[in-house]
Chains A and B, each alone.
Chain A
Amino acid sequence: DAKTTQPPSMDCAEGRAANLPCNHSTISGNEYVYWYRQIHSQGPQYIIHGLKNNETNEMASLIITEDRKSSTLILPHATLRDTAVYYCIVRVASKAAGNKLTFGGGTRVLVKP
């Protein structure tokens, strides 16, 4: 699976949009981009995933560049409860490939009042 690069930390203002970047320049055509977050003392929580198109759900939006070499997770209105470590993961979605998730260091996001 392709590697991802994320900033180690970032601060966001409560009520403002939080834009979390992820670089995956070696992504291949059959690899999906997944975003998870881990709030202290909990297991990772799935946020959103996509292949080529931009995606939106009740938690966030995922913007994938046309060349698929980078993506941005957008939390539209950050709250204090969004403080967490956010992981961007790229993986091949196939049973033959093992469906494994390889976690990097993630981005530690602190939402400030």
Chain B
Amino acid sequence: SAVISQKPSRDICQRGTSLTIQCQVDSQVTMMFWYRQQPGQSLTLIATANQGSEATYESGFVIDKFPISRPNLTFSTLTVSNMSPEDSSIYLCSVLWGHPNQPQHFGDGTRLSIL
């Protein structure tokens, strides 16, 4: 399976600021996704990152708050905008390549704390 790298691995940010998280894969993938895992909770899908077009957001997530880019088949970014303490979470990138029945694979996530 491919290597999925997320940067930064963790950060502590001030409220009102924005942070961009990068997800880099070492081979071309079919689909890329962004998930959020709030403290003590399970994972929730934020959006599907579409190459060359706007991301597809899940209910409760909006582009102004979580702008996403995917300029090519191996790279995507998620920005958490105007952060508040409620945004303190782990943000995870996952990728899918090959046939749609193949499993998604996850990076190790970005641990974000907002003061």
Interface residues of A (CB under 8 A from B): 32, 34, 36, 42-46, 49, 51, 87, 93-95, 98-106
Contact = CB atoms under 8 A, between A and B. Distances in A.
B106 A44 contact: yes
Contact of B42 (A32, A49, A93, A104): A104
B96 interface: yes
Contacts of A102: 45
Interface of B: 30-31, 33, 42-45, 48, 56, 58, 92, 94, 96, 99-109
Contacts, number: 54
B41 to A, nearest CB: 9
Nearest to A100: B45
A49 B106 contact: no
Q: Closest 3 A-B residue pairs measured CB to CB?
A: A93-B101, A43-B106, A103-B42
A89 B44 CA distance: 13
A105 B42 contact: yes
A46 B104 contact: yes
A99 B44 contact: no
Contact of B103 (A34, A95, A104): A34
A46 B103 contact: yes
A43 B42 contact: no
A47 B96 CA distance: 15
B48 A44 contact: no
A46 B31 contact: no
A31 B105 CA distance: 18
Q: Identify the interface centre among A43, A104, A105, A106: most chain B CB within 10 Å of its CB.
A: A43
Contacts of B104: 46, 99, 101
